[in-house]
Amino acid sequence: GAVVSQHPSWVICKSGTSVKIECRSLDFQATTMFWYRQFPKQSLMLMATSNEGSKATYEQGVEKDKFLINHASLTLSTLTVTSAHPEDSSFYICSARKQGRGNTEAFFGQGTRLTVV
Amino acid sequence: KQEVTQIPAALSVPEGENLVLNCSFTDSAIYNLQWFRQDPGKGLTSLLLIQSSQREQTSGRLNASLDKSSGRSTLYIAASQPGDSATYLCAGTQGGSEKLVFGKGTKLTVNP
């Protein structure tokens, strides 16, 4: 398999502040990473697709100015939740695919539990 | 819009039992299909990947199959163990897209 590391695993922040979540592929290069949000007892909802060296592609209904995504290298993507509010509290998970033809398996980070108080 | 249904939503079985989890897609044109395991408060662990040219994959006590004509997949777990207790998610991509569309999962409890 492959390892995707997500940091932090949990964070509590005050309303109005910003929080940055990192997603790293530790043993492979990922041209594309994905950010998901998961509500309790619900499935994963894709928020955006992060492409190395270019702007992220956001899913319909996801505010790009609120959820800032940066994919500066082939092993690191970051999600910044800006001006967080309690309704942003959720479980955020990233995933990455190995670069290269035929490599289609997606690997996931351990997730970040965000609580906004 | 692709939607994924997983049945049952929850399943409780005694240790040692063989079991089947089901997953169906509204659009049967599935390119790749993955089964994942998620423990409470954790990320996803990839269990099996069925690529576009494949119909079945096996890993240890796990076997997954995909019927592309109907858009249905099953995950078979043999000789279940308490450590298998988790939520199992299926997800698929469609041709030309890397996006995974997920079901809501089946919460499995294996009782000692």
pLDDT of residue A43: 87
Both structure tokens of A3: 């390892």
- Are A108 and B44 inside 8 Å of each other by CB? yes
What digits encode the pLDDT tens for the residues B45-94? 999 999 888 999 999 999 999 998 889 999 999 999 999 999 999 999 88
**Quick one: CA dihedral A40, A43, A44, A47, positive or negative?**
negative
Contact A31, A37 (CB under 8 A): no
Confidence of residue A72 (pLDDT cuts 50, 70, 90): confident
- Give the mutation candidate from B35, B44, B57 for the A interface (greatest A CB count, under 10 A): B44
What digits encode the pLDDT tens for the residues A29-39? 888 899 999 98
Locate the chain B residue with the closest alpha carbon to A39: B104
Locate the chain A residue with the closest alpha carbon to B42: A110
A61 touches chain B (CB under 8 A): no
Where does chain B show beta strands of DSSP type E? Answer: 4-7, 10-14, 19-25, 32-38, 44-50, 56-59, 62-67, 72-77, 86-93, 101-102, 106-111
